[in-house]
């Protein structure tokens, strides 16, 4: 029996993606018809799970007309949602590809500011949607006004429900998580830059990355720690072993959604009780698939499967 997957997005967005002949200042830039997608870390994780044949419920804070539009977009994609009232108007974000240079410019809005009363409402929604067999995924940026200890508070709520928490975060929230043990934090993921910042030292080799990840596991921060290494794949460590997975080099069209595709694929495999190295393999395959697609598209299933077959997994 597969575990239920619940993703949490406190700072969702409606993503607009377009192209322009050339991005220069001062002129009106005539853009192509935009691709409009629901966005935000947890939402993209749920979308990736759906693309790969699974199902995840997206718990989303919404507000205003943009929030209503967001729910319509999710319904069109067949992603079940649990919506609760967030402050203000749901944000919008824009990415534009300069067709002359091939470069992508991403304009990300901060989102509405949360007040003290908004966080308990979010946690109450999580409690209602979580049960003992739930894998709870917190991914994406925290809204302005939400304290850095929110993931730790969420971990306590999840532990009280007997569920498992998967977190992909950065900045002050990541540093706060790394300060002490967490009973319910099952998986903690970060990218290489974040890992080096947290470690306070360079992590030039896979073995260096694995050693750092194991330090966090031994400290009790999480049972599994994953550090992405960009084109060099990802490293995973738990109490028993460390693994590295990488795909052969491929085209990089857009990096948008690669991390969320990894988390979605990894969580889907974890929900099916796959061995941890196979979860890592599917995650890396999905991330590689996402970077080969345009705009805000995620992990195309056929490409993900091709990548999975080509992916190399090594025990460190």
If you search the block for the tokens 């917190």, which residue do you land on? 138
Rounded to an integer, what distance in angstroms lies between the CA atom of residue 107 and that of residue 261? 20
CA neighbours closer than 13 Å in the CB half-sphere of residue 47: 28
Rounded to an integer, what distance in angstroms lies between the CA atom of residue 232 and that of residue 72? 37
Contact 240, 279 (CB under 8 A): no
Would you tell me how many other CB atoms lie within 10 Å of the CB of residue 131? 12
Q: Is 260 marked active-site? A: yes
Structure tokens of 90? Answer: 């749901």
Catalytic residue among 15, 37, 260, 278: 260
Q: Which residues form the catalytic set? A: 260
């Amino acid at each position: 029996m597969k575990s239920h997957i619940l993703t949490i997005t406190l700072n969702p967005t409606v993503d607009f993606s377009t192209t322009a002949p050339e991005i220069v200042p001062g002129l009106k830039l005539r853009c192509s018809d935009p691709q409009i997608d629901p966005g935000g870390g947890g939402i993209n994780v749920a979308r990736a799970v759906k693309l790969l044949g699974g199902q995840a419920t997206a718990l989303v804070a919404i507000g205003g007309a943009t929030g209503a539009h967001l729910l319509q977009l999710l319904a069109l994609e067949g992603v079940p949602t649990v919506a609760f009232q967030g402050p203000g108007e749901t944000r919008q974000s824009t990415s534009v590809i300069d067709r002359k240079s091939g470069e992508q410019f991403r304009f990300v809005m901060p989102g509405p500011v949360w007040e003290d009363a908004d966080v308990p409402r979010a946690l109450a929604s999580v409690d209602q949607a979580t049960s003992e067999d739930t894998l709870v995924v917190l991914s994406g940026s925290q809204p302005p006004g939400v304290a850095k200890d929110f993931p730790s508070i969420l971990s306590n709520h999840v532990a009280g429900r007997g569920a498992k928490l998967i977190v992909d975060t950065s900045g002050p929230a990541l540093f706060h998580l790394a300060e002490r043990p967490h009973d319910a934090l099952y998986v903690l993921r970060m990218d290489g830059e974040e890992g080096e910042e947290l470690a306070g030292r360079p992590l030039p080799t896979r073995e260096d990355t694995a050693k750092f990840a194991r330090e966090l596991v031994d400290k009790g921060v999480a049972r599994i720690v994953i550090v992405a290494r960009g084109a060099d794949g990802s490293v995973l460590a738990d109490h028993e072993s460390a693994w590295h997975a990488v795909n052969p080099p491929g085209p990089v069209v857009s990096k948008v959604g690669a991390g969320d595709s990894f988390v979605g694929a990894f969580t889907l495999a974890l929900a099916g009780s796959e061995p941890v190295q196979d979860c890592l393999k599917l995650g890396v395959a999905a991330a590689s698939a996402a970077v080969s697609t345009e705009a805000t598209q995620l992990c195309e299933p056929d490409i993900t499967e091709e990548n999975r077959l080509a992916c190399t997994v090594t025990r460190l």
